[in-house]
């Protein structure tokens, strides 16, 4: 049974989220402000954290920053703030995904599932996302039974996106991993390679979705 920690200052929101999550078999603990949230996280060791940004006292982004100093628990930001800059900031501090309020329950649960697929140590050199299989040992990728002919850059790009399948990866994060040491100014090159990669992936159940101003999400 997964344990979820809800950090939100709205009592009604906490109550509803608790009912929603408990109906899905989660064990739920709550905190109504940041400091308490950090303590609960240390004490209960949750499997996933739902974090509001507009907290009184210690703000949500600060809570996330401090949480990331000692924990890599998956964090889903749940906020009314819908500005791209805030989303990018939260994702780059270490949030795993971002859902804006008001949200649909189905979407929230789906995102929670996705971010809990462990990112921890991998035991096989293979990442599988739907029909897509990425072989890190031989630098090969295939969809179904068909091998994809990728350039080294396209492979690196596909690897980053597949490792985060279902989750949004910001443009900066992609550039940092695919072109280490390069400035984040590489957005033009990134578009070009994404474009090529999309053509090679075709219409076979794996797609790269763009979120304007934020980054990309591989859906499989």
Residue with tokens 């809990």: 116
Q: Is 56 exposed, middle or buried (0-12, 13-18, 19+ CB in 10 A)?
A: exposed
Binding-site string for another protein from residue 158 to residue 197, where x marks contact by CB under 8 A and - marks none: -----------------------------xx-xxx-xxx-
Per CB under 8 A, the list member of 25, 56, 69, 104 interacting with another protein is 104
Per CB under 8 A, the list member of 6, 7, 17, 150 interacting with another protein is 17
Q: Which stretch binds another protein (CB under 8 A): 8-16, 36-44, 131-139, 149-157?
A: 8-16
Question: With respect to another protein, which residue has the nearer C-beta, 29 or 194?
Answer: 194
Q: Phi first, then psi: what are they for 28, rounded to 5°?
A: -120, 135
First to last CA, the chain: 25
102 forms part of the interface with another protein (CB under 8 A): yes
For another protein, the binding residues (CB under 8 A) are: 10, 12-13, 16-17, 19-20, 23, 54, 80-81, 84, 101-106, 187-188, 190-192, 194-196, 209-213
């Amino acid at each position: 049974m997964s344990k979820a920690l809800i950090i939100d200052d709205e009592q009604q929101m906490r109550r509803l989220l608790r009912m929603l999550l408990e109906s899905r078999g989660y064990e739920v603990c709550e905190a109504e402000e940041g400091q308490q949230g950090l303590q609960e996280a240390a004490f209960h060791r949750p499997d996933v954290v739902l974090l509001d940004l507009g907290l009184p006292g210690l703000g949500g982004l600060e809570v996330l920053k401090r949480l990331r100093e000692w924990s890599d628990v998956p964090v889903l930001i749940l906020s009314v703030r819908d500005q791209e800059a805030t989303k990018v900031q939260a994702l780059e501090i270490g949030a795993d995904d971002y859902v804006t309020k008001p949200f649909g329950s189905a979407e929230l649960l789906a995102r929670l599932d996705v971010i809990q697929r462990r990112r921890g140590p991998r035991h096989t050199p293979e990442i599988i996302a739907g029909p897509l299989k990425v072989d890190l040992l031989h630098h090969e990728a295939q969809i179904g039974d068909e091998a994809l002919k990728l350039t080294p850059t396209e492979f690196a790009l596909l690897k980053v996106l597949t490792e985060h399948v279902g989750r949004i990866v910001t443009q900066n994060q992609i550039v940092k991993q695919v072109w280490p040491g390069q400035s984040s100014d590489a957005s033009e090159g990134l578009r070009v390679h994404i474009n090529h990669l999309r053509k090679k992936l075709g219409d076979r159940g794996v797609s790269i979705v763009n979120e304007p101003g934020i980054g990309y999400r591989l859906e499989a």
